[in-house]
């Protein structure tokens, strides 16, 4: 089987696994793409969408949104052809020298400092995709709650044990559009998968 055939058959299996369940038509491609990436049907229940989150993401992508990731792995996993088709770019500041300096000076994580860097340097709609660092979400919550920042979308899917669940719950309490994987599951691959699902919807990519 060639790659296209494998992907097609994989999505057929996923559709069979979700048979009998009802999902919002805009949310379903995101759920399917994450399950395809992880082979984990728990995401059918774990992924939580704020009302209109995908529609808000579509609007932001079509208005030239910047996608900001918290890891190079997530950045690498986002489909560059889809980004190019929409004229978009993806950013990761985690290893930028100025971010490392700011984190050290403030005694905070580089992920937290990366959020500040993105907020200060990027103009236009911002989509934050966090798959690793809970401190990314904690800082986003602080900035949104204070009225300092209003992201077009927050993708909150960090994986792990320390502050992971709590940081996701903070985002779930915000009024800004968000897609969150409740619980401990997630990861950079999941963050990239959510971004790709949104990009594929925006570009009308067909499997």
- Which tens digit of pLDDT belongs to each residue from 123-142? 999 999 999 999 999 999 99
Mean pLDDT of the chain: 97
Mean pLDDT of the 63-90 span: 97
Q: How confident is the model at residue 1 (pLDDT cuts 50, 70, 90)?
A: confident
CATH 1.10.3720.10 fits 3-203, yes or no: no
Sequence length of the chain is: 207
Predicted structure pTM score = 0.96
- Which tens digit of pLDDT belongs to each residue from 82-96? 999 999 999 999 999
Task: For the chain, give the percent of residues with pLDDT over 90.
Answer: 97
Q: Which residues are catalytic?
A: 36
Domain boundaries, the chain: 3-203
CA distances (Å), origin 196, targets 74, 75, 162, 187, 199: 11, 11, 27, 14, 5
């Amino acid at each position: 089987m060639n790659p296209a055939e494998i992907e097609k058959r994989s999505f057929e299996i996923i559709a069979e696994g979700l048979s009998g369940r009802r999902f919002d038509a805009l949310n379903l491609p995101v759920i399917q793409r994450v399950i395809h990436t992880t082979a984990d049907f728990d995401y059918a229940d774990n992924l939580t969408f704020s009302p209109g989150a995908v529609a808000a993401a579509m609007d932001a992508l079509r208005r030239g949104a910047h996608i900001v990731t918290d890891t190079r792995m997530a950045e690498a996993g986002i489909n560059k052809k889809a980004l190019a088709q929409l004229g978009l770019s993806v950013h990761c500041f985690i290893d930028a020298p100025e971010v490392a300096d700011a984190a050290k000076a403030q005694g905070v994580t580089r992920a937290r400092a990366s959020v500040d860097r993105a907020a200060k340097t990027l103009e236009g709609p911002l989509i934050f995709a966090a798959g690793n660092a809970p401190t990314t979400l904690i800082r986003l919550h602080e900035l949104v709650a204070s009225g300092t920042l209003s992201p077009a979308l927050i993708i909150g899917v960090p994986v792990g044990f320390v502050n992971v669940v709590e940081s996701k719950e903070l985002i779930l309490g915000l009024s800004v559009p968000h897609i969150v994987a409740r619980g401990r599951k997630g990861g950079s691959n999941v963050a990239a998968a959510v971004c790709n699902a949104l990009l594929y919807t925006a570009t009308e990519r067909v499997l």
